[in-house]
Amino acid sequence: MNDLAAGQPALDLDLPEYYVNRELSLLQFNLRVLEMAMDERQPLMERLNFLLIFSSNMDEFFEIRVAGLRNRMETNTGLPAADGMFPEEVLKRISEITHEAVHRQYHILNDILLPALAAEDVHFLKREDWSAEQAEWVKRYFRDQVYPVLTPIALDPAHPFPRLVNKSLNFIVSLDGKDAFGRSTGLAIVPAPRSLPRLIRMPDNISNNGDCFVFLSSMIHAHVSDLFPGMKASGCYQFRCTRNADLEVDEDADDLASALKGELLSRRYGDEVRLEVADNCPRHLTDYLLNKFDLSSEDLYEVNGPVNLARMFTDVQRPRLRNTPFTPKVPAIIKNSENIFETLDQTDVLLNHPFESFSPVVQFLAEAARDPKVLAIKQTIYRTGTDSEILDHLETAARNGKEVTAVVELRARFDEESNIEGARRLQEAGAIVVYGIVGYKTHSKMILVVRRSADGIKRYAHLGTGNYHVKTSKLYTDYGLLTANEDLCQDVHKIFLELTGMGKPARLKQLKHSPFTLHKSLLEMIEFETEQATAGNKARIIAKFNSLTEPQIMQALYRASAAGVEIDLIVRGMCCLRPGIPGLSENIRVRSIIGRFLEHTRIHYFYHAGDEVVWCSSADWMERNLVNRVETCFPITDEKLKSRVIKEGLEVYLRDNMQAWTMQSDGGYERVSNDPDDVENNVAAQQWLLDRLS
């Protein structure tokens, strides 16, 4: 390790106590989401949504993170990470934290949110709360809508314990009496078909003018004996098993799409990692289920309520219970434009989503698809959704005779199926579809349009920090740049050639890209600030991203801090660096914003001896992004746009004292406090942006 300055000893940056375990750091993010359900400044239905998002996040945490740790432990590949923890240690700590968190989650639901919603005439009715009229309606609904699609499975030698789908709702039923064949095995499993809603709204005429919902689980509980004629259900208990959902695809397969299709089925039946059971389930039945799933008591979560809260999302539209609706702004220069390409000939356009609309990006593709002067369109596709305007316009372009090339990343986690379908659609329309580079996920967000003009062939590009997904563009914060800058567009063109052809890494003029130049460039920019601070000059780094886990980047930041560089990191999720360690990271501050929108923007700011440098990127500061993916990082060179990114993307987030959390040196987080009466100095970054941009 190089000395920071003459006479100073080198820092030993390999000490485990300088780092936070990545899985535990991600778990901290999920706990911050859970705590938003207790924020009384949020409307009630939004507080409920935070509780449900926590459930959804925890599902993925077990499917991917916990499953990965168990696999490492079982295959003896569980070497300790930089934090020094072995997989078995991490799993034990995860079990302790998550059991406490789940207990708190159901306490918030049952004792705080549901009573508060009932006071607003929004009711999630338990069986004992049904009126006679409501019970009769439930009986009819069960008979007409539920009973016909249920398949009870008796457990006996001819009917072994069924293979149950990942995260499916099921019931274990204890039975008294004998069936038509004289059997009295005493146990049955009733799977709840996924085609059935988990939450059903009661008709207005029996809801007393309120919003009344009944759980599918309650309906099945109330009428489960109807599934076993002549027998009586002496007990009925819901349960759910979470499985390993990570995919292992043979990168050397002749057809990646076909290989992936085969793996998607295995995701539904991966190894078991968690069992959720109703907390009133008798111990002998709980032990029976644990045995069948080969799980231990540490993997058991006894819950006081529905086993899958993520299915509780509802369409209650009471203004006082929801966030105030907003309309994303379309920049005037785009709104008043008759031809988007002629507009881009004059100026770059920066879009700050979701406060500014994603529609200009869709318009960019729509105009390209029908413009007779457009010759070719190239685009990367990571996540677009199943019902995608983006795909519609690419199909139209291909059918209109444009040369359309789509680089589709089939391995975008949990979007594999929709991406396979999107690739099929584009191929049938006549587009060229490629799946990127073997061994490297294509995560960059790029569109290139090649158009004939009076001066010859001209290129136009869109570069973004987020996916080409119209729905999530309204929920995630991201930046997008529409440009006709010749150097940038030429760089984009070269990256597409890398993705579809073969050859040595492209020599780019402005863009940095993984896995070739981005990692090295970030280290160089951090080192420049370190040298400036060592020389006694002003040095400053501000970075905003989803996660920080890459060891070399963390060590470079430690050296920079020790040299005196002022560093602010705005990190949504994982942060494995520890701020505030005396003599090492006391100049590093880490904060996280949890609000109405999911923070997804990646911005890098370096003071650079007064010549401020601002980059936006598709990449987080993680090993996978900087080493194992194709990513792009683009500069914001226009001074007005650069000023906007600094002000709107960084400075306001550093001033946030209403939805911000600060990381402590032990890896935990504390909510930033504020004076509720000091309205003038209270800042919520996302609301500030809504007020000014939407």
pLDDT at 6 over 50: no
- pLDDT, one tens digit per residue, over 540-565 is 999 999 999 999 999 999 999 999 99
CA 280, distance to chain mean position in Å, is: 33
Tally of structural domains, the chain: 3
Q: Does pLDDT of 98 surpass 90?
A: yes
| Confidence category of residue 277, pLDDT binned at 50, 70, 90 | very high
**Among 508, 529, 556, where does a domain finish?**
508
pLDDT surpasses 50 at 7: no
pLDDT of residue 254: 46
Which of 237, 239, 127, 240 is CA-nearest to residue 175?
Answer: 237
pLDDT for position 285: 96
Same domain as 521, residue 497: no
Same domain, 595 and 500: no
Confidence of residue 252 (pLDDT cuts 50, 70, 90): very low
Q: Is residue 658 exposed (0-12), middle (13-18) or buried (19+ Cβ within 10 Å)? A: buried
**Residue from 133, 485, 171 nearest 344 by CA:** 485
* pLDDT class of 247 with cuts at 50, 70, 90: low
Residue 6 lies in a domain: no
Regarding whether 447 and 574 lie in a shared domain, the answer is no
Q: Worst-scoring range by mean pLDDT, 63-67, 79-83, 333-337, 368-372?
A: 79-83
Report d(CA 589, CA 604) in Å as an integer. 15
pLDDT band of residue 435 (cuts 50, 70, 90) is confident
Q: Name the band, by pLDDT with cuts 50, 70 and 90, for residue 692.
A: very high
Of the ranges 21-25, 279-283, 316-320, which one carries the lowest mean pLDDT score?
Answer: 316-320
Mean pLDDT computed over every residue of the chain: 91
Do 504 and 420 share a structural domain?
yes
pLDDT score recorded for residue 63: 94
Q: Structure tokens of 35?
A: 């705590």
Mean pLDDT of 30-51: 96
Q: Are residues 317 and 337 in the same domain?
A: no
- How many CB atoms neighbour CB 288 within 10 A? 16
478 within some domain? yes
Both 456 and 531 in one domain: the answer is no
Determine the average pLDDT of the residues in 60-89. 87
Q: Which region among 222-231, 339-348, 520-529 has the lowest average model confidence (pLDDT)?
A: 222-231
| Domain end call among 458, 493, 508 | 508
Q: Examine residue 5 and state whether it is found in any structural domain, yes or no.
A: no
- Contacts for 501 with CB less than 8 Å, ≥ 6 apart: none
Contacts for 457 with CB less than 8 Å, ≥ 6 apart: 375, 450, 451
Q: Is the pLDDT at 253 greater than 50, yes or no?
A: no
Q: What does the chain come to in residues? A: 694
Report pLDDT for 180. 58
Mean pLDDT of 449-469: 95
Q: Are 590 and 571 in contact (CB under 8 A)?
A: yes
Q: Does residue 7 belong to any structural domain of this protein?
A: no
Is 256 or 406 the better-scoring residue by pLDDT?
Answer: 406
3-state DSSP of 95-164? HHHHHHHHHHHHHHHHHHHHHHHHHCCEEEECHHHCCHHHHHHHHHHHHHHHHHHCCCEECECCECCCCC
CATH number at residue 98: 3.30.1840.10
Whether the per-residue pLDDT at 184 is higher than 50: the answer is yes
Residue type, 318: R
Domain limits for position 671? 514-693
The reply to whether 10 falls in a domain is no
Question: Is residue 9, in this structure, part of any structural domain at all?
Answer: no
Same structural domain for residues 147 and 236?
yes
Mean pLDDT, rounded, for 243-260? 59
Same domain, 139 and 238: yes
Examine residue 317 and state whether it is found in any structural domain, yes or no. Answer: yes
pLDDT for position 78: 61
Statement to judge: residues 304 and 363 lie in one domain: no
Of the candidates 465, 482, 508, which is a domain's last residue?
Answer: 508
Q: Which CATH number is 594's domain given?
A: 3.30.870.10
Backbone angles phi, psi at 575, to 5 degrees: -140, 110
Average pLDDT rounded to a whole number, residues 431-441: 88
- Of these ranges, 181-190, 242-251, 394-403, the one predicted with the greatest mean pLDDT is 394-403
Q: How far apart are CA 659 and CA 330, in angstroms?
A: 26
CA distance 626 to 620: 8
Q: Does 597 lie in the same domain as 689?
A: yes
DSSP 255-268: -HHHHHHHHHHHHT
Closest to 150 (Cα-Cα) out of 165, 134, 169? 169
Looking at the structure, tell me whether residues 336 and 316 fall in a common domain: no
Indicate the pLDDT class of residue 94, thresholds 50, 70 and 90.
very high
Largest CA distance in the chain: 90
In a domain, 2, yes or no: no
Average pLDDT over residues 478-491: 98
Say if residue 244 is in the same domain as residue 148.
Answer: yes
Which of 223, 443, 462, 513 is an active site residue?
443
pLDDT at 570 over 70: yes
Q: Is the pLDDT of residue 139 over 80?
A: yes
For 605, the enclosing helix (H) or strand (E) is strand 603-606
Comparing 187-201, 407-421, 459-473, the range with the smallest average pLDDT is 407-421
> Is 443 part of the annotated catalytic residue set?
yes
